[in-house]
């Protein structure tokens, strides 16, 4: 078991607590495997009625995955990255298909891999501290861990907006968009968890009773603009629409997009659009795994992590440098399926 995740039984409740505070609980291979092992054990255990996932000390739920490991692997043969993705996506799929109710407490930063372990859960609790985002285009990656499914099903092209810009959603916005099922004040969480542990079979009712009315979702004001500019078929068309937007909002979003990897933006937009047509979550995971194992070895991913997390000069040199220079052939190659022996597979059903 990994010391970075605490696996607990509290009566008839299974509890998974992320415990890597110095990295805002970013997921490692060991953490993913430990979480999956517990969930597989509890899946058929008649003495476990429900599961909750939260974090121990620290200022966020989960900041993502172990990007530095992926960076080092991508610079070599990519095998360690593929192993991590395989384990992480198995965990995501296990949560998505879990037969018992699971509640994730998204108190604080919930990004990347943190989205991957919260959005598949039956119940997703946001608070006033929640900051949910998929910021991968800033490091040359794409919104994986099921992003192609979740983002594609958001209203008014908000999914494309989040995938491309990496915009952060607060707790009220998560609730308004359906990314969260409940909104609870953070001061109420510990007492709520104690009540759940005392009677986990009443999980849904307890979450409802503890829920507060969230503030007005700030994103509501931007929805017409998001729908107008992010509906377009191509990344170039979205850029052109924002250039003609003639508003401070359009100007700010345009500046945001121009700082992202053009290749990642095109990959992310295609993933969200294709994800809309995938009903089987295992199919989504297979597509994202095939994509991730290739993208992690691209120049833009290695350069993006270098610039933002290693050297921290915040000046990545993207290649290709412009959207127009990113060819369809380059994107098609990244989306090519893997062979049967290389393909991602879920855990066997119990």
Q: Is the peptide bond before 320 cis (omega within 30 degrees of 0)?
A: yes
In angstroms and rounded to an integer, the radius of gyration of the C-alpha atoms of the chain is 20
- Active-site position among 49, 54, 66, 136: 136
Q: How far apart are the first and last CA of the chain?
A: 22
Query: Is 136 one of the annotated active-site residues of the chain?
Result: yes
Question: What six digits make up the tokens of 22?
Answer: 């110095």
- Active-site position among 144, 253, 288, 300: 144
- Active-site position among 14, 58, 64, 65: 65
Query: Is 10 one of the annotated active-site residues of the chain?
Result: no
For the beta carbon of residue 246, count every other beta carbon within 10 angstroms: 8
Give CA–CA dist 237/269, Å, rounded: 12
Query: Is 248 one of the annotated active-site residues of the chain?
Result: no
For residue 185, which of 217, 209, 212 has the smallest C-alpha distance?
212
Query: Is 65 one of the annotated active-site residues of the chain?
Result: yes
Burial 125-160 (b: 16+ CB within 10 A, else e): bbbbbbbbbbbbbbbbbbbbbbbbbbbbebebbbbb
- Active-site position among 113, 166, 171, 304: 113
For residue 122, which of 108, 105, 110 has the smallest C-alpha distance?
105
Give CA–CA dist 285/338, Å, rounded: 12
Q: Kindly list the catalytic residues.
A: 65, 113, 136, 144
């Amino acid at each position: 078991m990994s010391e970075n995740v605490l696996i607990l039984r509290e009566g008839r409740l299974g509890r998974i607590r992320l415990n890597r505070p110095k990295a805002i609980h970013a997921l490692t291979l060991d953490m993913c495997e430990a979480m999956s092992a517990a969930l597989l054990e509890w899946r058929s255990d008649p003495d476990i009625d429900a599961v909750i996932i939260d974090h121990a000390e620290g200022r966020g739920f989960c900041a993502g995955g172990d990007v530095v490991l992926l960076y080092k692997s991508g610079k070599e043969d990519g095998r360690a990255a593929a192993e991590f993705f395989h384990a992480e996506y198995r965990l995501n799929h296990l949560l998505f298909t879990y037969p018992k109710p699971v509640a994730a407490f998204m108190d604080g930063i919930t990004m990347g891999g943190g989205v991957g372990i919260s959005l598949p859960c039956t119940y997703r609790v946001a608070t006033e501290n929640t900051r949910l985002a998929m910021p991968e285009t800033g490091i040359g990656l794409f919104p994986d861990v099921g992003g192609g499914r979740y983002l594609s099903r958001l209203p008014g092209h908000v999914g494309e907006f989040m995938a491309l810009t990496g915009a952060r959603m607060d707790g009220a916005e998560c609730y308004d968009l359906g990314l969260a099922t409940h909104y609870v004040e953070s001061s109420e969480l510990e007492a709520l968890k104690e009540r759940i542990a005392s009677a986990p079979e009443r999980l849904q009712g307890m979450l409802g009773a503890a829920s507060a009315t969230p503030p007005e979702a700030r994103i509501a004001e931007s929805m017409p603009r998001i729908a107008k500019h992010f509906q377009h078929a191509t990344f170039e068309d979205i850029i052109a629409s924002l250039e003609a937007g003639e508003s401070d909002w359009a100007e700010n979003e345009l500046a945001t997009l121009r700082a992202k990897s053009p290749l990642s933006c095109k990959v992310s937009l295609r993933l969200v659009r294709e994800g809309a047509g995938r009903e089987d979550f295992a199919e989504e995971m297979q597509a994202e795994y095939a994509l991730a194992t290739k993208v992690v070895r691209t120049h833009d991913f290695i350069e993006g992590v270098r610039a933002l997390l290693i050297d921290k000069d915040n000046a990545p040199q993207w290649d290709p440098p412009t959207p127009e220079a990113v060819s369809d052939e380059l994107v098609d190659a990244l989306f090519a399926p893997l062979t049967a022996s290389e393909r991602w597979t879920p855990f066997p059903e119990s």
